[in-house]
Amino acid sequence: MSEDNIPFGTPPVGFMQTGNQQVSLDPPVAAIGSIFETETVESPSLVEKPTTEPQKFPQFDETETLSDYKSQINQTTKYAIFDMFWLINQKFYKKVQPAQNEAHFVVISFNMSFGNLRVSYFNLTNNSIQNNIVYLENLKRTVSGTIYPATAFNAFATQRLSTICLEQLFRQIPGANWQLERPVCKIEKNESKLRFTIADPKNGTYFYDFEDWQYHAFLKALEFTFTKGFELTASQHLK
């Protein structure tokens, strides 16, 4: 049985609409590859190795900034969202160029209105990092995706897995293109690495490998979703 097939058939009307019924799950996500293809298991480190000189980051052409991202945030100010982690791709510290379609920067946020994690990917531009400061507005946003509590619990509790994140929309709105264009997100996890892939029908497919201390940070965000996150979401609904 394919991991992307729902084993219990189509849910009854009113139970859930995924919004991705016309999007093929396999091709865009599988195009990135899998962490299990050339897997090497190493013991994760909880402490980042100190450096003796300032970090130097590669320079990128600044062709697009965060204007579209800011516009989206301004349109959804009624939602209660806060950032949990801002993460720089560790390859820059190791002076290694990221792979094609590999995110340079990640923002993990929690949406208290809907009780899900939002993972947003960005690329660095010439002015993104100055000394020890990261300027979010100078980053180039690529894609973003969401993780709901059921998937978060599964990914946190399972040592090794490869799963498509299930979207939770309350109803199907006729003619709402945004429902059919929701990104398809995939989590792959082993003992030392977690790869999160976002396949956006409009903006392409991007991935990020959470390793070392960032691996544990992502797991902490997943755990927060179905623990303290439940309380925060409930408090929002009671207002």
3-state secondary structure of 15: coil
pLDDT of res. 34:
80
72-95: pLDDT as tens digits: 544 545 778 899 999 999 999 999
Q: In 10-139, at which residue ranges do the beta strands (DSSP E only) sit?
A: 81-88, 105-111, 116-123, 129-130, 133-134
Reply yes or no on whether the pLDDT at 36 is more than 80. no
What is the model's pTM?
0.70
CB 129 within 8 Å of CB 111 = no
37-77: pLDDT as tens digits: 766 544 333 333 434 444 455 444 444 444 444 455 445 45
CA distance 18 to 214: 29
Mean pLDDT in residue range 150-158: 97
CB 194 within 8 Å of CB 210 = yes
pLDDT of res. 136:
92
pLDDT of res. 109:
96
CA distance 218 to 195: 10
pLDDT of res. 24:
40
11-30: pLDDT as tens digits: 333 333 334 433 344 446 66
Using only C-alpha atoms, the chain has a radius of gyration, in whole angstroms, of 18
Domains, the chain: 58-171+178-237 (2.30.31.40)
CB 153 within 8 Å of CB 229 = no
94-144: pLDDT as tens digits: 999 999 999 999 999 999 988 999 999 999 998 899 989 999 999 999 999
pLDDT of res. 28:
61
